[in-house]
Amino acid sequence: MKPRLFYCLALPLALSAPAAAFTDPASGDIAPYTAESGAPMDEIKQAMETPHLGLSLRVDPDSKSISGLALYTVQAITPLDSVEFDLDPRFAISRISVNGTVRPDSSWKNDGGKLIIALPAPIAADETVQVEIAYSGEPRVAPNAPWDGGFVWARTPQGKDWIATAVQGTGCDLFWPCLDHPSKRVGVLDLVVTVPSGLTAASNGKLVSVEEKGGWSSYHWRAKAPNDYGVSLQIGPYELAEAEYTSRYGNSFPIQFWHLPGQEENAESLIAEMHTYLDFFESTIGPYPFSDEKVGVAETPHKGMEHQTINAYGNEFVASPEGYDELMQHEFAHEWFANQLTGARVSDLWLHEGFGTYMQPLFLEWKDGHLAYDAAMWGLRKRIHSRVPVAPHEEVSSTLYDDADAKWGQDIYYKGAWIAHTLRGLIGDDAFFASLRRMVYGRPDPAPGNFAPRRGTTAEFRQIAEEESGRDLGWFFDAYLRQAELPRLIAEQDGRMLRLKWESGSDQTFAMPVDVQVSDRLVHVPMVDGTGSVDLILPDAHYVLDPFGMILRDNPAIAAWQKQQQDKAKAGD
């Protein structure tokens, strides 16, 4: 069915059904249900798939408002008599239609952000229904994009409108009706963004067409299976820099960078850098996942975000001392770890951020060698807090990300990267990178055209790593991901004997082998039952535990330093 994409372009902004009472979009007010992304799904959502969405959005910078029309094809997994979407209740809904017939107001309700629509007649499993939602209003203004999300209404240095969305933590429902859960994707998204003439709307997928009419420009983008929080708008007086990349896999695709006027030289430089990133990722992980669309980047008024095929970039072209744009490389890593592989639950978010963060030290190792890798890993180690589990068995709220006491929003990055580092040291490069490849692509032999975006879990990654390494890793995953505290290595010397013992919050024996440097000897201690010993030969021999820094473990010196930094910060308040 051809979607009715352009029907909403002239939607009025004052609509009949009143929105929920929010004092001011700029205040950061948000309904509790809307604030949580990835909330547990009820039976209705679980029974829905959305093979197609035609979404039209008109963005008005003068009134800082949007009007939208979402035309969904909904397919039932099991019989349905209602359908459900998430939509910020600050928006007014003017019309809901099912199969082209307008439904009465009594047939639907938006209860605090959960929009439930009764169907005129039930549909059976595998049947489809067309659902159309017309809405408008002033979207939430991001209090602190990209971390605390919403719309960013800004101005370029030349005073032109410059607009962006960033909704990872709070979800897609901040500006379009969606299934705000990581396990749900739209099969094909046809997105039409209408903006005042003179502005460009850069978004996901491939640009199908541009239409000019009455002082407005409509940009039609088409994306396959976008990650819901990765659907985004980048709007500004952009100029386009682009180049073609020829992949080691035999295909080629465009790199496109929408940048502000006057930044052409910087944009060209970053595109050249992107060639290097692609070479690294394709040789280390596998083929670029969205080669039939594009590698896309847009300059934004906020720091950055990993929107699928249109990464937001606001790092102002500042290179790190290591000679690369660390933020751009991190966000680009998410094309593999977030957009191709999406965690099935919020508690699996470390699969995005932990591996995305680990790609920076890995890139430095690939580019500059072991010293650069080790220095980067040591920098990350000092930022680990271990107050709550990284990936608990039970689901967690997305609001945990911003919990200043729990520090989960930091640990999924830095502890996640160190878990990857330690696992690599334990099972070896061959098994580690084979595990990553299978996890990302769902197969060991990815090639352009033979894979699609997929969902994954921590438990699945454990199973894959066990198969690739040929060893049980339950103790590893339990200690590092299901528990909060880090394992402690106890060393006690009795004469010439050094006795080692692991203590862990896990009920399972922590069987991490330990290398010990004894003078000029390197001794490998298996620690199969969590204990081991080393003959020092001489009672006064100097020894170093884990001399190559391969094991993530409790470090009292770092804990003391972190407390000192925290006390200084409090004293300065």
Quick one: pLDDT at residue 573? 66
For the segment 71-90, the average pLDDT, to the nearest whole number, is 98
One-letter identity of residue 332: F
- pLDDT at residue 11 tops 50: no
Query: Cα–Cα–Cα angle for 512, 518, 520, nearest 5°?
Result: 125
- pLDDT at residue 417 tops 90: yes
Chain segment 159-171, per-residue pLDDT in tens: 999 999 999 989 9
Positions at the binding site for Zn(2+): 330, 334, 353
Quick one: pLDDT at residue 550? 98
- pLDDT at residue 358 tops 50: yes
| Polymer length of the chain | 573
For the segment 319-331, the average pLDDT, to the nearest whole number, is 95
Calculate helix-pair angle for 370-381, 350-368, nearest 10 degrees: 150
488 DSSP 8-state letter: E
Cα gap 258→266, rounded to integer Å: 12
144 DSSP 8-state letter: B
pLDDT band at 523 (very low <50, low <70, confident <90, very high): very high
Quick one: pLDDT at residue 26? 67
Quick one: pLDDT at residue 23? 52
For the segment 132-148, the average pLDDT, to the nearest whole number, is 96
Quick one: pLDDT at residue 571? 86
Secondary structure, 3-state, 361-427: HHHHHHHHCHHHHHHHHHHHHCCCCCCCCCCCCCCCCHHHHHCCCCCHHHHHHHHHHHHHHHHHHHH
Peptide bond into 446 cis (omega under 30): no
For the chain, give the mean pLDDT. Answer: 94
Cα gap 251→291, rounded to integer Å: 8
Chain segment 490-499, per-residue pLDDT in tens: 999 999 999 9
Chain segment 292-305, per-residue pLDDT in tens: 999 999 999 999 99
Q: Who's near 104: CB < 8 A, 6+ residues apart?
A: none
Hey, which residues are catalytic here? Answer: 331, 413
Quick one: pLDDT at residue 6? 33
- pLDDT at residue 286 tops 90: yes
Looking at the chain, the whole-number percentage of residues with pLDDT higher than 70 is: 95
For the segment 272-282, the average pLDDT, to the nearest whole number, is 98
Quick one: pLDDT at residue 8? 38
- pLDDT at residue 539 tops 60: yes
Q: What is the pTM of this model?
A: 0.94
For the segment 213-236, the average pLDDT, to the nearest whole number, is 97
For the segment 131-144, the average pLDDT, to the nearest whole number, is 97
Q: Which domains does the chain carry?
A: 1-237 (2.60.40.1730), 341-482 (1.10.390.10), 488-551 (2.60.40.10)
Query: Which 3 state secondary structure label does DSSP give 273?
Result: helix
For the segment 51-72, the average pLDDT, to the nearest whole number, is 98
Chain segment 424-442, per-residue pLDDT in tens: 999 999 999 999 999 999 9
Asked which of 18-27, 42-51, 78-87 is least confident by mean pLDDT, the reply is 18-27
Quick one: pLDDT at residue 28? 75
DSSP string, 220-236: EEEEES--GGG---EEE
For the segment 102-107, the average pLDDT, to the nearest whole number, is 97
Quick one: pLDDT at residue 1? 36
DSSP string, 294-348: -EEEEE-SSSEE--TTSEEE-STTPPPTTSS-HHHHHHHHTTTBTTTEEESSGGG
- pLDDT at residue 180 tops 50: yes
Quick one: pLDDT at residue 370? 97
Q: Is 212 exposed, middle or buried (0-12, 13-18, 19+ CB in 10 A)?
A: exposed
DSSP string, 415-458: HHHHHHHHHHHHH-HHHHHHHHHHHHHSSSS--TTS---EEE-H
Positions at the binding site: 330, 334, 353
